[in-house]
Amino acid sequence: MQRHLFMTVFTASLGIIPMAHAENRIDTQRFDAPELAAYGDHAVGVRQIKLKNPGQVDILKIDPAAPKPDVLPTYDRPLTVEVWYPAAQGASGDTALKVYLRDGKTEVDIIGKAMRDAQPDSGKAYPLVIISHGYPGNRFLLSHLAENIASKGYVMASIGHTDSTYRDKAAFGSTLVNRSLDQIFVLRVRTH
């Protein structure tokens, strides 16, 4: 019995026994965080918006070894944007976000303060900030920052750049051509 207990404790200390599932919290702060790192006074909502940027050059359909085509191929470029915003006081909603890890296959929940599809705060305009992830990445990489800044009275629009995410990574040329065009397009679209 003592040997069995010893082996259980020993293997647990090595991390061989799976630990209880921990929440992936994005709204915690260290005890020594600077004063301005604290959340603001606004409740926070988050919602997903699907957009199409019409008539964009489809760089992935151009063969770099072939002569330049007379007419460049185009398509309506799909974009998914996650928007964090000041929510109405008393708003409610689920605070879990479904996120894919770097392998593009494993989905996990991250938990914060932002409530999915919460009623926006009405009657006031808020400044817009664009978040643009790296290559590859996803629109959730700065979720912790987006919800924190939204709690201070900003609308945060995080673009999921097509062809540049963990799930749909394509040739880097698409990122080079499209990233700034995606940003300009989202700036021109009303996102809340």
Instruction: Show the 3-state SS of 38-59.
Output: CCCCCEEEEEEEEEEEEEEECH
The verdict on residue 9 lying in a domain is: no
Q: What is the pLDDT of residue 6?
A: 47
* Contact by Cβ (8 Å): 164, 179: yes
**Sites in the chain below the pLDDT cut of 70:** 1-22, 190-192
Q: What is the pLDDT of residue 12?
A: 47
pTM over 0.95? The answer is: no
Q: What is the pLDDT of residue 51?
A: 97
Count the alpha carbons within 13 Å of 42 in the hemisphere toward its beta carbon: 27
Consecutive H or E run containing 112: none
Residues 121-154: tens digit of each pLDDT: 987 899 999 999 999 999 999 999 999 999 999 9
Mean pLDDT over the full length of the chain: 88
Residue type, 139: R
Q: What is the pLDDT of residue 180?
A: 93
The total domain count for the chain is 1
The verdict on residue 129 lying in a domain is: yes
Q: What residue numbers bound the domain in which 132 lies?
A: 23-188
The verdict on residue 14 lying in a domain is: no
**Cβ neighbours of residue 99 under 8 Å, at least 6 residues apart?**
107, 108, 109, 110, 138, 140, 143
* Contact by Cβ (8 Å): 189, 54: no
The verdict on residue 173 lying in a domain is: yes
The verdict on residue 167 lying in a domain is: yes
The verdict on residue 46 lying in a domain is: yes
Q: What is the pLDDT of residue 8?
A: 45
Between CA 154 and CA 84 the distance in angstroms is 8
Q: What is the pLDDT of residue 13?
A: 46
Kindly report each contact of residues 37-42 with a partner whose C-beta sits within 8 Å and lies 24 or more positions away, as own/partner: 37/148, 39/113, 39/148, 39/151, 39/152, 40/148, 40/151, 40/152, 40/153, 41/151, 41/152, 42/86, 42/87, 42/121, 42/150, 42/151, 42/152, 42/153
Q: What is the pLDDT of residue 83?
A: 97
Q: What is the pLDDT of residue 171?
A: 86
Between CA 42 and CA 152 the distance in angstroms is 6
Count the alpha carbons within 13 Å of 165 in the hemisphere toward its beta carbon: 20
The verdict on residue 6 lying in a domain is: no
The verdict on residue 17 lying in a domain is: no
